[in-house]
Amino acid sequence: MAPRLSTVTVAALLIAACGGAPPVAPTQDAPVESPQQAPPRIDAVETLHGLTVRDPFRPLEQREAAQAFIDAQNAQTNAWMQAHARAGVRERLDQLFDIGSLGGAAHAGDRVFFTRKEGDQEQAVLYVQVGAGAPRPLIDPNALDAEGRVTLDWYYPTRDGRLLAYGLSKDGDENSTLRVIDVDSGAHRPDEIAFTRACSLAWLPDASGFYYTRYPATEAYDRHVWFHRLGADPAQDERVIGKERLPERTDWPGVLLSPDGRHLLMVRYVGWSESTLHLLDRATGAWTDVAPEKPGLFEPLAVLDGQIWAATKHDAPRGRIVRIDPARPQGWAEVVPQQETPLEASAVSSDAIVTLHLDAAAAKIQRWGRDGKLQGEVPLPVAGTVSDLFARPDDPRVHLSFQSFFVPPSIYRLDGLKPQLTAKVETDLDTSAYVVDQVEYRSYDGTAVPMFVIHRKDLKRDGTNRTLLYGYGGFNVSMTPSFSRNVLFWLEQGGVYAVANLRGGGERGEAWHQAGMFDRKFQVFADFEYAARHLIREGYTRPSRLAILGGSNGGLLVGALVTRAPFLFRAAVGKVGLYDMVRFTKFPPAELWIKEYGSPDDPSQLPYLWAYSPYHQVLEGVEYPAVLLTTADKDTRVHWAHTAKFAAALQAASAGGRPVLMRFETQAGHGAGKRTSAVIEEYAELYQFLLGTLE
């Protein structure tokens, strides 16, 4: 299965580091005020399951009613940024983002595919390399839109690599349209299919058609599995899997085909902790529901000779690999047992199983025989992150991507236990002035929580350092050492950057994830609070020099800390976050997240959702920190109304005169696919805000 370039979720804002740029100086000192636009409000009070819930800014859920408020917020934010502008911020970020990027490789036949972005390109380009020849661009989104608003979301080559299905979307909305290209000629087939967001796709061995997932028109739910014959009218495609095996509209299916084409495996994800497997014998038309009595997360790896190879957390919270005979309910064979380090990903090649584990939130790669015998550990350059682990069960090759805090992205091919470098990002960064500390601190209940702290080697722990603390804490997402360009600016200003591995993530296995779900979500917020306390206690910083940052689920984290412990930090930045946990399911596709958060329609779950819902926990007269909230009109994951309502509530209640700013972007979405120039502008505002408030 080829990399899906836009899926994940939100991911971490991690770090690259070098030296050389001097601290920037402010160009103005006095703020410039802009006219205020009072948000529309009503006296909305409801009794829900016996709980009194106030919602004064509900009119902001409607775009027409909210437009004047949105315009005024952007004007106010523009004025504040102009008043606190600092020379050199945008210019330095431009230089840093000239450092290229490199995406994971997928091999098919004698071809290898990968993505690369260089210099001032707005979007990454998909390249193909045939044999030992030079890589050449195959799909260049920059050539499709002069403003750089079109992006490549995902791609899947045929088994021989001669055809490739891929998805494009615009303005970051992730609503992909599927196209098919002839790799050698560059000519497109007539096939074009809309509503293939985050598509899962499996080609037939002869490349005459494919199974794929798509949504109904304009719907955020009811993703089903279809079959498309090349050249046929997509409107006539056969729906292969629908309500009969996807009973809930929030079910998330994916597909995998055996190398001989006989068996189609469908995985049905039900949240982030459970999935089921369903096998179709294409020769007989018979379906087998695999292991229905064994709840847990199953990640399919391959179907060989009618048997399923899968990674699972059933009876193994840190993960293991099993081989399942669907014809025998007890026909399970454990191939790779559970290890002390949690299993993050795995892949099956023709002669090996490669497993990716997390050891202290850093990658560890092991190679096993298909007979389950450990062959050894793959040496990695430094403690870092491995992603895009790719193999095919009928091909001996294995590809992976590697990066770390101070190592730009690289692509490796595994030759046994030896990684062979095949491509890397070239840069002249000098990282010698910086160091990464990995620490453990104690949360409120004594639980040890790991955290990365990055700073200059000559840092003095005198409490005076501007510090930026990042967190996410949810959906089994692990925060690992990754290379990024934007935080470098922060380090060059003498700042400290910290990344906390909070409960709710996957760094320590499924138990760590579940410790931050449902009514245990408060533990994520407590872990983040105690990360801030640790940084203060250990002399890295003090509250007036500390800021917190998070996006999406991490935006919820930031909002919860703003209302839970506003005295611990001076500034907070929440990006595309959730803030109304009483009505979050009203905005598609948020029903997908009920398995993580719980449902406000459930009388037993509403109380704890309301108790931490940032919008509902804003109190008048509190001296809240300075707050910057960002959202976008094309965000198809988290609705912009969350941000508008939370901003209005904070502005109405906050005492002390610190700014509460909101940035509403057009021609942008949740973050995936955003053009480089817009990303640079976003971080220019972020760092001007932090430098202007952490005084």
Do 373 and 463 have their domain in common?
no
Confidence of residue 31 (pLDDT cuts 50, 70, 90): very low
Do 316 and 401 have their domain in common?
no
C-alpha to C-alpha distance for 399 and 112, rounded to whole angstroms: 10
CATH of the domain at 153: 2.130.10.120
Q: What is the pLDDT of residue 651?
A: 97
Q: Model confidence over 39-63: pLDDT tens digits? A: 988 888 999 999 999 999 999 999 9
For residue 34, being part of any structural domain is answered with no
For residue 23, being part of any structural domain is answered with no
C-alpha to C-alpha distance for 546 and 533, rounded to whole angstroms: 10
Per-position DSSP letters for 604-659, written without gaps between them: TTHHHHHHH-GGGG--TT--PPEEEEEEETT-SSS-THHHHHHHHHHHHH--S---
Look at residues 336, 370, 385 and tell me which one is the last residue of a structural domain: 336
By residue count, the chain amounts to 695
Looking at the 3D structure of the chain, how many domains does it have?
4
Do 88 and 196 have their domain in common?
no
pTM score of the predicted model: 0.94
For residue 76, being part of any structural domain is answered with yes
CATH of the domain at 543: 3.40.50.1820
Residues of the domain holding 401: 339-426
Q: What is the pLDDT of residue 43?
A: 83
Do 80 and 151 have their domain in common?
no
Among candidate residues 273, 349, 552, 654, the one labeled active-site is 552
Instruction: Look at residues 282, 206, 205 and name the one whose alpha carbon lies nearest to residue 241.
Output: 282
For residue 11, being part of any structural domain is answered with no
Residue 404's identity, in one-letter code, is: S
For residue 40, being part of any structural domain is answered with no
Q: What is the pLDDT of residue 12?
A: 31
For residue 9, being part of any structural domain is answered with no
Structure tokens at 353: 């199983």
Q: What is the pLDDT of residue 291?
A: 82
Do 268 and 353 have their domain in common?
no
For residue 373, being part of any structural domain is answered with yes
Do 421 and 435 have their domain in common?
no
Confidence of residue 429 (pLDDT cuts 50, 70, 90): confident
Q: What is the pLDDT of residue 592?
A: 96
The answer to whether 670 is a known catalytic residue is yes
Q: Model confidence over 350-394: pLDDT tens digits? A: 999 999 999 999 999 999 999 999 999 999 999 999 999 999 999
Do 527 and 655 have their domain in common?
yes
Q: Which helix (H) or strand (E) holds 434?
A: strand 434-442
Q: Is 596 helix (H, G, I), strand (E, B) or coil?
A: helix
For residue 32, being part of any structural domain is answered with no
Q: Model confidence over 476-510: pLDDT tens digits? A: 999 999 988 888 899 999 999 999 999 999 999 99
Q: Model confidence over 243-292: pLDDT tens digits? A: 999 999 999 999 999 999 999 999 999 999 999 999 999 999 999 999 88
Q: What is the DSSP letter of 24?
A: P
Do 77 and 138 have their domain in common?
no
Confidence of residue 695 (pLDDT cuts 50, 70, 90): confident
Averaged pLDDT of the chain = 93
Do 459 and 598 have their domain in common?
yes
Do 582 and 604 have their domain in common?
yes
Look at residues 311, 336, 361 and tell me which one is the last residue of a structural domain: 336
Instruction: Look at residues 118, 127, 36 and name the one whose alpha carbon lies nearest to residue 74.
Output: 36
- Reported for 679-682, long-range contacts at CB under 8 A and 24+ positions apart, including other chains, are 679/97, 679/486, 680/90, 680/93, 680/94, 680/97, 681/90, 682/630
Q: What is the pLDDT of residue 99?
A: 92
Q: Which helix (H) or strand (E) holds 167?
A: strand 163-170
Confidence of residue 336 (pLDDT cuts 50, 70, 90): very high
The answer to whether 84 is a known catalytic residue is no
CB-based burial, 566-591: b 16+ in 10 Å, e otherwise: bebbbbbbbbbbbbbbbbbbebebbb
What percent of the chain clears pLDDT 90, i.e. is strictly above it? 89
Contact 628, 693 (CB under 8 A): no
**pLDDT greater than 70 at residue 404:** yes
Do 297 and 344 have their domain in common?
no
Q: Model confidence over 513-554: pLDDT tens digits? A: 999 999 999 999 999 999 999 999 999 999 999 999 999 999
Look at residues 302, 336, 370 and tell me which one is the last residue of a structural domain: 336
Do 608 and 649 have their domain in common?
yes
Q: What is the pLDDT of residue 431?
A: 85
